Amino acid sequence: MDYLLSDEQKMVQELARKIAVEKIRPVAAKYDQTEEYPWDVIKVIADAGLFGLFIPEAYGGMGINVLNLCLATEELSRACGGIAVCYAASALGTFPIVLFGSEDQKKKYLPDLASGKKVAAFAVTEPEAGSDASAIKTTAKKDGEYYILNGLKHFITNGGDAETYVVIAMTDKTKGARGASAFIVEKGTPGFTFGKKEDKFGIRASSTRELIFTDCKIPKANLLAKEGMGFIVTMRTFDMSRPGVAAQALGIAQGALDLSVKYAKERHQFGKPISSFQGIQWMIADMATEIEAARGLVYSTARMVDAGKTGVSKESAMAKMYASDVAMKVSLDALQIFGGYGYMKDYPIEKYVRDAKITQIYEGTNQIQRNIIALQVIKETAK
Amino acid sequence: MNIIVCIKQVPETTEVRINPETNTLIREGVKSIINPFDMYAIEESIRLKEKFGGKVTVITMGPPQADAALREAISLGADEGVLVCDRAFAGSDTWATSYTLAGAIKKLGEFDLILCGKQASDGDTAQVGPGISTHLDIPQVTYVKKIEEVKDKIMRVERMLEEGFEVIETPLPALLTVVKEINEPRLPSLKGMMRSKQAKIASFAQKDLNLDPQNIGLCGSPTQVVKIFTPPQRTGGQILTGEIPEIAEKLVNLIKDEVH
């Protein structure tokens, strides 16, 4: 389908595709196996300028364009959902500074994030605070010119490898959700250490670690927006980043379809390529159609965000939920087309199933997304 | 350092098919790319520019669509592109091509270095680079795998041999042809791609260059293509056994039979 992309959008797509094919595809299996952070690929993505896609030009970026970010993430994910999320998670960690940072904060942090010299991470989740973000226990106590952070964040993508972290902590527990605040924390700050690195089912090229804060002293200047704005920062950030997760899922789905169609044309049984059998053809037809439907949803949502529309939570949730459900279904069907070979790690398709699964879980489980969608639909009809 | 890089646009596939009736390449449906060997020359020129400053000008002779190859080079970091394009240049062999490119380079003015890929992936002649240096009367070093040092208008390079390499010093300006061992070409950057889209490509035709009509295009090309064919697959061959003088005699007889 032709999405009438601009010349710039086509360039982003073409460049990301080139990186995916030439630099990611050859190393995807290696990083999946070793679980090392793919610094060499991150450097290629940085040199290409793709980290600038979510940062304003005034700070060394290319201007914020969520559709561009989606196109880049989709293409990178076609080759490896794990490497792509290292990139997308940096966008997630950067958005709070872009959206709520003061001029000084933007000047200090954004240029290095735009050039890809440093990557970012966003830390909300805690062992007891997953879908229920209001249960956050990490505290930030004001002490003169500083805040003292104490607590534990876990499942933090890019944790340990990122240099710049945006951390949500409670400045006033009595106020509940309105008592949370967002802070910029630099790697190397005394009292800020990393816990265990998770051994994951999929997206294994990306790092997922615990962040541990023990009397970690943060300058007051590192508070984002104002005290009590933590949840607003989080929600606005997710509105911007959810289309990116949807694009990651979309890329995984497309990558799985690409592989399975190629395989179906090469694999012969009963003297014919299996792509000539209707059973396989109907699977391919459904996969391709669902991917295209997801793409329409993702690109349209990204365009709404880029057009400055507010209140895109419903569309964002729809795009994330639908694209990730499609990625799960399509990757499983793709593996089915590969038959017994698909179950073996010698073939690349099983990795897509593992990588797809997380997209239904993180950045709000698909059940939470359905809550958001349903509430919004009900609210709209009540008017 | 003022560097000129000569590139060629070639069909992408390494399995180019030939129309058996016309003996020409079947180009339909085959994407055009920059000759892969030229990518190393472009990369080396950008690295030299990053190190010593200066300017990289990329030049190609070809049809109007070769504009895309020049723009791709600009997206990688080259500064300017020059397209040498005229119906009068059509059908050029390596003599006419190197003569024409040398003429275009003369028109560009002062330069320190010309870089070429070692050969083009379609013609595989490896003659155009050395031809340009001859027409310009400047030194040439072929198959360069490393530029060791540039100092006081002298360049020291490593030139690849079948076994090992030799170290050569050449005064500048000079022409080098480079091999793939010299570097790993970068990918374009988004900013480079945007710049390349807006870049103005200079175009040189015969009227701009005023070249000797006897040395350009088809009539300026001494090469005649008699036949193009896919070489037959090499078969098993024959192993001769016995004492050396005995083998030699058998071999001579076999060759004699083959000739008759």
Q: Are residues A238 and A338 in the same domain?
A: yes
The answer to whether A48 contacts B197, with C-beta atoms less than 8 Å apart, is: no
Does the pLDDT value for residue B181 go beyond 90?
A: yes
Question: How do B154-160 and B201-204 pair as beta strands?
Answer: unpaired
Q: Which of A23, A44, A49 sits opposite B190 (nearest CB)?
A: A49
Query: Minimal Cα distance from A9: which residue of B?
Result: B190
The answer to whether A18 contacts B187, with C-beta atoms less than 8 Å apart, is: yes
Number of folded domains that form chain A: 3
Task: Give the pLDDT of residue A239.
Answer: 86
Give the domain-ending residue among A62, A87, A119. Answer: A119
User: CA A246 to CA A254: how far, in whole Å?
Assistant: 12
Task: Give the pLDDT of residue A105.
Answer: 98
Q: Are residues A55 and A77 in the same domain?
A: yes
B185 contact A CB<8A:
no
Chain B residues touching A52 at Cβ < 8 A: 190
The candidate with the shortest Cα–Cα distance to A77, out of A68, A87, A67, is A87
Q: Are residues A185 and A71 in the same domain?
A: no
Task: Give the pLDDT of residue B14.
Answer: 64
Task: Give the pLDDT of residue A119.
Answer: 97
User: Catalytic residues of A, which ones?
Assistant: 363
Q: Are residues A251 and A342 in the same domain?
A: yes
Chain A residues touching B197 at Cβ < 8 A: 7, 11
Does the pLDDT value for residue B22 go beyond 80?
A: no
Q: Are residues A110 and A137 in the same domain?
A: no
Q: Tokens for B111, please give them.
A: 């330069």
The Cα angle at residue B37 between residues B92 and B157, in degrees rounded to 5? 110
Query: Minimal Cα distance from B187: which residue of A?
Result: A48
Q: If you average pLDDT over every residue of chain B, what do you get?
A: 91
* Inside any domain, residue A127: yes
Chain A residues touching B193 at Cβ < 8 A: 11, 14-15
The answer to whether B188 contacts A15, with C-beta atoms less than 8 Å apart, is: yes
Q: Which has the minimum average pLDDT: A85-89, B13-17, B92-96, B248-252?
A: B13-17
The answer to whether A62 contacts B188, with C-beta atoms less than 8 Å apart, is: no
Does the pLDDT value for residue B15 go beyond 70?
A: no
pLDDT, greater one: B38 or B123: B38
User: CA A81 to CA A352: how far, in whole Å?
Assistant: 8
Chain A residues touching B188 at Cβ < 8 A: 15, 18, 48
**CA A117 vs CA A58, A161, A192: distances in Å:** 17, 12, 21
Q: Are residues A249 and A310 in the same domain?
A: yes
**Structural domain boundaries enclosing A241:** 231-382
The answer to whether B187 contacts A23, with C-beta atoms less than 8 Å apart, is: yes
Q: Are residues A159 and A211 in the same domain?
A: yes
Confidence category of residue B2, pLDDT binned at 50, 70, 90: very high
The pTM of this model reads 0.87
Give the domain-ending residue among A63, A87, A119. Answer: A119
Chain A residues touching B12 at Cβ < 8 A: none
The answer to whether A18 contacts B188, with C-beta atoms less than 8 Å apart, is: yes
User: CA B138 to CA B165: how far, in whole Å?
Assistant: 22
* Inside any domain, residue A1: no
B260 contact A CB<8A:
no
A262 contact B CB<8A:
no
Per-window interface: A 322-351 vs B, CB < 8 A: none
Q: Tokens for B113, please give them.
A: 């270095």
A258 contact B CB<8A:
no
Cross-strand partners of A148: A141, A217
Q: How far is A250 from chain B (nearest CA, A)?
A: 23
Task: Write the DSSP symbol of residue A133.
Answer: G
Q: Are residues A377 and A235 in the same domain?
A: yes
The candidate with the shortest Cα–Cα distance to B122, out of B19, B216, B9, is B9
Domain CATH for A145? 2.40.110.10
Query: Minimal Cα distance from B192: which residue of A?
Result: A48
Chain A residues touching B33 at Cβ < 8 A: none
Q: Are residues A137 and A242 in the same domain?
A: no
Does the pLDDT value for residue B177 go beyond 90?
A: yes
Q: Are residues A240 and A375 in the same domain?
A: yes
For B189-247, where are the E strands, in sequence order? 201-204
Q: Domains in chain B, ordered, with CATH?
A: 2-215 (3.40.50.620)
Confidence category of residue B17, pLDDT binned at 50, 70, 90: confident
Q: Are residues A236 and A346 in the same domain?
A: yes
The answer to whether A47 contacts B193, with C-beta atoms less than 8 Å apart, is: no
The candidate with the shortest Cα–Cα distance to A156, out of A77, A212, A79, A84, is A212
ipTM: 0.82
Write down how long chain A is: 383
Give the domain-ending residue among A183, A213, A230. Answer: A230
In chain A, alpha helices (H): 7-19, 28-34, 39-48, 66-79, 81-100, 103-114, 230-266, 278-306, 313-342, 349-359, 366-382
- pLDDT tens, chain A, 383 aa long: 999 999 999 999 999 999 999 999 999 999 999 999 999 999 999 999 999 999 999 999 999 999 999 999 999 999 999 999 999 999 999 999 999 999 999 999 999 999 999 999 999 999 999 888 788 999 999 999 999 999 999 999 999 999 999 999 999 999 888 999 999 999 999 999 999 999 999 999 999 999 999 999 999 999 999 999 999 999 899 988 999 999 999 999 999 999 999 999 999 999 999 999 999 999 999 999 999 999 999 999 999 999 999 889 999 999 999 999 999 999 999 999 999 999 999 999 999 999 999 999 999 999 999 999 999 999 999 86
Task: Give the pLDDT of residue B16.
Answer: 67
